[in-house]
């Protein structure tokens, strides 16, 4: 089913707001605008917090024991290769870190002496010297 009303129902169910709709349908009383905005904010915040905690639990409860071997360093490439399900999270984290730390001009890598636009991306993903040194 598609349309405005089914979308409203899905959102109310997703954010646990069906009780407000039931109250409105039974008694005709709907919260004032500011109270309704506060209720929506709190419900969305709680749903997002719950979703984030579930994602964190899924990440930390991995059954992939190869990921955390004591004799090898834990790198972004190593994690991506060992556990492909985490590669999307690592890629997004790298992009955020790159935006925060990289400059708007090319800089020279201190390890391999190549010029790059994003020193963070280069160091984590592409620097061949770093990978050779780690092995």
Instruction: List the Cα angle 6/7/11 in 5-degree steps.
Output: 115
The answer on pLDDT for 110 being more than 90 is no
Give residue 69's pLDDT: 53
Instruction: List the Cα angle 45/89/120 in 5-degree steps.
Output: 115
Two tokens, residue 135? 């092995």
CA 48 – CA 118 distance, rounded (Å): 31
Secondary structure of 6-74 as H, E, C letters: HHHHHHHHHCCCHHHHHHHHHHCCCCCHHHHHHHHHHHHHHHHHHHHHHHHHHHHCCCCHHHHCCCCCC
The answer on pLDDT for 38 being more than 90 is yes
Q: Helix, strand or coil for residue 115?
A: strand
| Confidence grade of residue 112 (pLDDT, cut at 50, 70, 90) | confident
Mean pLDDT, residues 23-42: 90
- The answer to whether the CB of 60 falls within 8 A of the CB of 85 is no
Mean pLDDT, residues 99-117: 72
| Confidence grade of residue 92 (pLDDT, cut at 50, 70, 90) | confident
Give residue 131's pLDDT: 52
Give residue 73's pLDDT: 56
Give residue 119's pLDDT: 73
Contacts of residue 100, defined as CB under 8 A and 6 or more positions apart, other chains included, come to none
CA 108 – CA 98 distance, rounded (Å): 15
The answer on pLDDT for 63 being more than 70 is no
The answer on pLDDT for 68 being more than 60 is no
């Amino acid at each position: 089913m598609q349309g405005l009303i089914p979308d409203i129902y899905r959102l109310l169910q997703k954010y646990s707001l069906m009780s407000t709709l039931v109250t409105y349908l039974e008694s005709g009383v709907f919260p004032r605008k500011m109270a309704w905005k506060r209720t929506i904010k709190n419900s969305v915040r709680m749903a997002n917090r719950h979703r984030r905690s579930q994602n964190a639990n899924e990440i930390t409860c991995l059954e992939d024991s190869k990921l955390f071997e004591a004799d090898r360093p834990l790198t972004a490439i190593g994690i991506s290769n060992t556990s492909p399900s985490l590669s999307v999270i690592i890629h997004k984290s790298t992009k955020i870190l790159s935006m925060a730390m990289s400059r708007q001009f090319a800089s020279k890598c201190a390890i391999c002496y190549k010029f790059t636009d994003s020193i963070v991306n280069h160091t984590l993903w592409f620097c061949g010297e770093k990978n050779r040194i780690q092995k």
